[in-house]
Amino acid sequence: MQPIVDARQVNITTSATSRVNSETPLIFTHRATWGNDLCLRTRESVLNNENICVFFSDLKEVTFNNHDFFTPMAIPRALSTRGAGITKINIFSLERVEPLHTNQIIEFTERKDINGRLCLRTRADTEGNRPTCIFFDDLNEL
C-alpha cells in the first residue's frame, strides 16, 4: 500500500502524530486500532519495537511487480545448495517457505540484498513472479 499525500501516522503509546512520505510504498504485516480507526504497522516497526502505525484511511492500494524488488544478475548461473536445511525465503516476511534438497543444482537470474546478505532468485521464481530467494551463503559454486 502507499500513503496518500499528508497521510498520518501515530505512535500508539505516546499519541504523537506525524506525516508519512507519500512517495514510498509500504508493506504492512500487522494491524492495530487507534480509537475507532484501523491502523497498519510495517514489519520493521514491529521488529524495532516502534509502536507506530499508519491510518488505513490514509492509504491506497498500489500494484507492483515482484521484479521491482530484485536486480538482474550480471551473469546468471547455476549453483548448488550447500547442505541440509536450506530453504527459500519470502522476501516480505523473511519466513522460510520451501525446503530444498542437499546438492540441488538451481539456475539463478536475479539478486537482492536482505539485511546485508546477498539473496538469489531462481529462474523459475523469476518467471513465476514469486517473491522468494535463497541466501548466497547457502549455495556452492559449481
What is the CATH number for 124? 2.30.30
Q: Which three cell numbers stand for residue 130?
A: 514469486
Which one, of 38, 5, 37, 41, lies nearest residue 24 by Cα?
A: 5
Distance (Å, rounded) from C-alpha 133 to C-alpha 120?
A: 5
How much is the pLDDT for 3? Answer: 59
Structural domain range at position 22: 2-60
How much is the pLDDT for 52? Answer: 86
Distance (Å, rounded) from C-alpha 70 to C-alpha 6?
A: 29
| Judgement on whether residues 124 and 78 belong to the same structural domain of the protein | yes
Distance (Å, rounded) from C-alpha 6 to C-alpha 69?
A: 26
Q: How many folded domains does the chain comprise?
A: 2
Residues 51-87 pLDDT 10s: 888 888 888 776 655 666 899 999 999 999 998 889 9
| Judgement on whether residues 80 and 122 belong to the same structural domain of the protein | yes
Give the mean pLDDT of 123-127: 94
Average confidence score pLDDT of the chain: 85
With a cut of 90, say whether residue 141 has pLDDT above it: yes
With a cut of 60, say whether residue 1 has pLDDT above it: no
**DSSP class of residue 4?**
P
Listed residues 27, 60, 93: the one ending a domain? 60
- Report CA-CA distances (Å) from 34 to 5, 23, 38, 56, 110: 20, 24, 6, 11, 40
| Judgement on whether residues 48 and 110 belong to the same structural domain of the protein | no
The least confident of 24-38, 57-71, 72-86, 104-118 is: 57-71
How much is the pLDDT for 65? Answer: 59
